[in-house]
Amino acid sequence: MPAPTTSTGSNRALEANRARALTEQADRCSVMLEAILAALRSPRLGDRAARQAATEVATNTLVELRTWTIEHRAAVVEPVTGAFERLRRDLGPLLRYGELDVQFVEPPANGRALPGEVAHAARAIVRNAVLTFADAGQARRVRIEWGCDGLNLLVGIRDDGAGDIDAHDDSLRPIVEQVSHLDGTMRVASTPGWGTEMNITIPLDPPEPALDGSDLTDREREIMRQVASGARNREIADEIGVSEHTVKFHVSKLLRRTGTRNRAELAALLH
């Protein structure tokens, strides 16, 4: 008897899940490396204490990564409070030895459980935002708040940095792509000298996107071809004679429609 075949749609879903798992682990490794650097650079720790702290961070993170891998295989939904507590643990090493003072505003205990994909993406979004603020070197305080209105996860992140970050900043591109992938919305408001505030809304029941090129414009087809070839936004803009922001808009739209979360997944899907 011939072996059962797997549909193209199932293969795509499997590959997308694997890519999300790899991205989640990459984000955790980024936080670990930032925490190690924070410990080694901390003026409060001597050389020996800094090395011990860095070793502790690496060891604990490796254990957490193994635990997460096991849990991820079975996770379908996560209580909103549990997902938020995991975020707090993820950021713990960075906050322990870094200079940022982070305030966590707990979500309602009776909030609706989050689909696994939404919970993972929301944690990655917050981690990326905190790392962006930390890299800028201006912020001293960050406030993180999660809420739920029954239909959407509401994420608020605010810092007291220089207030010079906007929605088109390259450092926010991974966040923009993640929010776009989940059909969410993102608003960034910065006030010079007062800081930056991000407000993100992520649907808890995002529609299943599908690839359908029948109604794409000629420009969108050309941008898809360029992305598949590995061209970056600036190269695409120069090639087809549009602004880089126009290319970013079309790429975000294509990510939503194809169900991919970044350019690498989109290029792989097109190939």
The pLDDT profile of the chain, 271 residues, written as one tens digit per residue, is 444 444 454 455 545 655 666 666 666 677 767 777 777 777 777 877 877 777 777 766 666 665 555 455 444 678 888 889 988 888 887 667 667 788 899 888 877 888 888 888 898 889 888 888 877 778 888 999 998 888 889 999 999 888 888 778 787 888 888 888 888 899 999 888 888 899 999 988 755 445 555 567 788 888 888 888 888 888 888 888 888 888 888 888 787 777 676 777 777 766 5
Q: What is the DSSP letter of 110?
A: T
Task: Note the CATH number of domain 9-203.
Answer: 3.30.565.10
Q: Quick one: 34 exposed, middle or buried, by C-beta within 10 A (0-12, 13-18, 19+)? A: buried
Reading the block at residue 71, the tokens are 């849990």
CATH match of 213-270 with 3.40.50.720: no
**150-165 burial: b if 16+ Cβ within 10 Å, else e:** eebbbbebbbbbbbeb
pLDDT at 4: 45
Greatest alpha-carbon span in the chain: 70
| Segments of the chain assigned to CATH 3.30.565.10 | 9-203
Answer whether 0.75 is exceeded by the pTM.
no
Closest CA to 75 of 19, 119, 20: 119
Give the separation between CA 108 and CA 215, rounded to whole angstroms. 42
Torsions phi, psi of 188, nearest 5? -120, 125
pLDDT at 68: 58
pLDDT at 144: 93
pLDDT at 3: 43
- Which residues, 6 or more positions from 99, have their beta carbon under 8 angstroms from its beta carbon? 38, 134, 140
pLDDT at 15: 59
| Segments of the chain assigned to CATH 1.10.10.10 | 213-270
